[in-house]
Structure 1
Amino acid sequence: MNARLVADLATAHGYTVAVAESLTGGTLSAELAAVEGSSDWFAGGLVAYQTATKVAVLGVPAGCPVISAQCVSTMASSLADLLSADAVVSVSGAGGPAGQDGEPPGTTWFATLVRGRARAERRHFPGTPEEVLAAARACALRLLAEEMA
């Protein structure tokens, strides 16, 4: 449902959409790519799961906590530049069962960047790793749609 809304908004406003993923491991990209007509507006996604990839490919500063506003904001702005995208969402978090970087499992940061308007938000999702990832995907699409509207 949220992927369809993102598609409708992208079409209505002429957005090119991209996603920078860590926690969600490519599943956001898969969800957007599955929407009919996605080749018209979906530029693509980048899965930067390891910290070293975030640093080397997306310009996240070395030593920056990967579960932070700075990390996801940098991921979003770098990918917007790399793919010439108008609307980007990025996500990084601790899926569990253990925490990461001093953050408990379920802690997730999101960033959106839509035609220069940036937003970062921290959320916490309870449950198993699968439940955390599902909640993170849904939240990322909802946040992106809100900013695109």
Structure 2
Amino acid sequence: MLKEIAELDSGAVLITGDGKRLARIYINAWSKGGRKVLAEYLPFQVNGDVYIGSPFESDDFDVYLIVNPLSRSKAEREKLHRWLAGHKDKLILLYEQKYVKDSITRYGIREFIDYLIAYKRETVGFEQVDVMRLENGKVVGSKTYIRRY
């Protein structure tokens, strides 16, 4: 399922739990194909060319990186939801630092995302990545990956 996400042409992916490495992998993979990437700002380093700016002011890009969409004020979240509804043909990576998995059902953004990746680093020496495919705000498929370090 993780490789399927890297090969997307359009859709919205939400990464939660401060999964910087995963977000970096996806941004690098998507920018390699000659796609133009616009990020609000970069909380991690990337290899390709990434433009910095507000995604709400430009429609000229193929990939957008929006940081901390769940931690915004109510007015900003509503603006983001309207923007997401109008950009379903673009590839959008929503990167949230706080961990959200099953509680995504409390957020209105669930209606706009296609994949949820919940990254969690455990204290006993492993990482857990839960990937969920969503359709119309409901989970239709999921897979869990565990890696020891």
Q: Which has the higher strand share?
A: 2
Normalising by structure 2, report the TM-score: 0.44
Return the TM-score normalized by structure 1. 0.44
Larger helix percent: 1
